Amino acid sequence: MITDRHQILIVGGGSAGISVASRLARKGYDDVAIIEPSEKHYYQPLWTLVGAGQADLSLTERSQQSVTPKKATWIKKAAEGFDPDQNTVTCTDGSTYEYEVLIVSPGIQLDWDQVEGVAETIGKNGVSSNYTFDLAPKMWDMIRKTHSGTAVFTMPSGPIKCAGAPQKIAYLAADHWRRDGDLKDMEIHLVLPTPRTFGIPEIADTLDKVVADYGIILHTQSEVVAVDPDSKKVTIRDLADAGDTVIDYDVMHFTPPQSAPDWVKSSPLSTGEGPGYVDVDKHTMQHVRHPNVFSLGDAGSTPNSKTGAAIRKQAPVVAKNVDSYLKNEQLGGEYHGYASCPLVISNKKMLLAEFDYSMQMTPTFPTWMFNPAEPYRRYWHLKRYGLPFLYWNLMLKGIA
């Protein structure tokens, strides 16, 4: 039985869902509903600075009601299934909603249990993460209380949201220990599954200098495969030769493997393999098998970095293409993979990496003003103050 019907139904009220809902409202659509169970909305990019003691946690949280467009209907439930042949979405309470157009943006799932020993120790025993609201302040507490020993910073294989975050906290922690006079007593390991610190050579060259300056031991093409919280040991696997190295740790920032939510993976909208993201055309954001379904944000299968900056560019494309679909017009919106990775390297400087699907740099600011491969103090201020303002006041309101 159908509980309710809406012209446009959005699953997920995070950055992607709210941004596209606001843009559709500005286009005059007044029958837009958002399925979102959370009472709180978070600005997640600032959690990196929270975990480094450079921002207050309260700045990252607002009520879901305050960011939901007034013209939209907020359905305070959790979705659990799609039936694209019947144009319906089912929620965990058994209610079913029918749509003319569906927009899927439920975000990404943090798979803490994919690495042995992590789920039972995260948030204690010296192990935390900047990937959740409650864990980020614990990360800072652990960093500031550590004055000597071994620190490990990890990144998993596969797509993750804000792929620069695992190394940003390594640089910020090292900077803190240097300013406190403790860096000489710290052994810092950065574990990355990639061949270099970044996929763009010019930016990787700059980050190599940062790594060397802090004396960080860099493990490339490597991944943490087990954590032993009792003995405080971590197993690092070389992905090239499958050899394992076990080291002791005193503090660790752990970045979990990530994937589409399990119920999305098993749905008919999924790619059906790997992390199971929603199967969309990477330019139009339209589902490849169901033309009245669109997806954006972290749950989509677009082969680019999963960042808020990517969502900011995807939202107007989805809003335009949904509008065109409903008017039986050819889809004219195209997304070319823009993403931005603000790489904070200290409490004073940040490098702003901007690029597209081809991994070509696409800087917002003129290159005669800022070298896109170099860090600047002004970029740090952009990260701390400018981008949060843009997010709350412009992006979520469908203006920028």
Pairing of strands 4-11, 96-104: parallel
Q: Do the beta carbons of residue 36 and residue 12 sit within 8 Å?
A: yes
From CA 253, how far away is CA 160, in angstroms rounded? 15
From CA 257, how far away is CA 240, in angstroms rounded? 19
The question of whether 91 is a catalytic residue gets the answer no
How many other C-beta atoms are found inside a 10 Å radius of the C-beta of residue 370? 17
From CA 206, how far away is CA 4, in angstroms rounded? 54
Q: How far is CA 189 from CA 158, 223, 342, 398, in A?
A: 20, 12, 21, 41
> Which of 25, 341, 345, 373 is the catalytic position?
341
> Which of 46, 162, 280, 318 is the catalytic position?
162
From CA 352, how far away is CA 166, in angstroms rounded? 16
Residue 298 is which amino acid?
Answer: D
Q: Do the beta carbons of residue 333 and residue 316 sit within 8 Å?
A: yes
Which sequence positions are flagged as catalytic? 162, 341
